[in-house]
Structure 1
Amino acid sequence: MNTQLLDLMKQRRTIYHLGKNVQFDQAELYRYIKEIVRYTPSAFNSQPVRAVVLFNEHHAALWDIVETTLEEKVAPDAFLRTKAKISSFRDAYASILFYTDMDVVKDYTDNPALATYQYQEYNWSEEAQGNAQFAVWTGLEENGLGVNIQHYDPLINAAVASRFEIPASWQLRAEMNFGSIEKPADAKEFMDDEDRFKLFQ
């Protein structure tokens, strides 16, 4: 069997030590990310995933928002660790904000032809999110870039929406950082197969 996809999946890891030593043009990266999201599957081809790509000062502004927001929420003695973590995200080359357009979810929920499934569209939109995030992540790793993904929503939603003029119907689902790999990930551990898989022949 061909194993190209499997090999790429094995290469995909969470990289926390990211840098700005990226040789790709920003316009090229943006086109590449758009194409991956465009071709990501979604239920009924509903296409609920939205992506906002942040370079340069816009990337830094995202993590400034996160830092300011968490400083108001985290105890002072714990905030030093939080601040250091956020600083490492700011050290990355760029960020991608992944959103779900809730108007799309509502349209499908209200569609009489889909009445049998009306309570499932949000779940399906989450599947589309997972597909898109995994595909972008793997694609960036294929090109030698490191990636990590964070979830500071909903704490930062309002401030981020204001700063980047996000439509009201877009719900923030994840914040992805990418950049040069300054330190590789540790070895990955896996649970026992018998606890995870079943085979009937």
Structure 2
Amino acid sequence: MCRHLAWLGRPRTLAELVLEPPSSLLVQSWAPRRQRYGTLNADGWGVGFYTPGRAQPARWRSAKPLWGDPSFASVALVISSGCVVAAVRSATVGMPLEESAAAPFTDGRWLLSHNGRVDRAVLPPARDAESTVDSALLAALVFDRGMDALGATVREVAAADPTARLNLLAADGTRLLATTWGDTLSALTTSDGTALASEPWDDDPAWTDVPDRSLVEVTPDGLTLTPLS
């Protein structure tokens, strides 16, 4: 389980997106407002972002709580990006606490975060998985199948594990993709971009809830919703 967010639009500092809002990911690491499973997201965190002239994203991850990294708080003030994926982690019982288990995971130009849980037994072995945790194995499967098959992959995994929660959030530097399957996701479109987040980072009434079992695509032209079932 986790709380995650993504941004596509005018470049904003990582601090603006992750640390400064009233209900930022930083705050959600100890006081989430809409989290259905778990109450604390202190088992690691990560942020991935894109910079001009480089197709592949840069990443910063840690197995520590987000509030325990003053170096990131300092650097986040001066790093800006127009495409960002970030997450704080609440580890499933029995899963390891390690940096490699923290989202976002990456493959080539893609970043991917998973909010939820899935039985690892229904996921195929993955040599390229960054960790043995369920989210990393799921990310490896999604990367292997390709993002054009994201909806089909989610439906396939859900059929194999009906109790799975499969909220995914991905970016490639030019667009965002997301799924809702068993957990919350909200969207905010402003004059300078679009945010997707497990829960709103403030009380702006423009935030809208994404229906469960949806596939979301965000491009510079706007947001598109497609039912998954």
**TM-score, normalising length from structure 2?**
0.26
User: Would you tell me which structure has more helix in proportion to its own residues?
Assistant: 1
By relative contact order (CA 8 Å, sep 6+), the higher-ranking structure is 1
In terms of fraction of residues, the more strand-rich structure is 2
* Larger Rg computed on CA atoms: 1
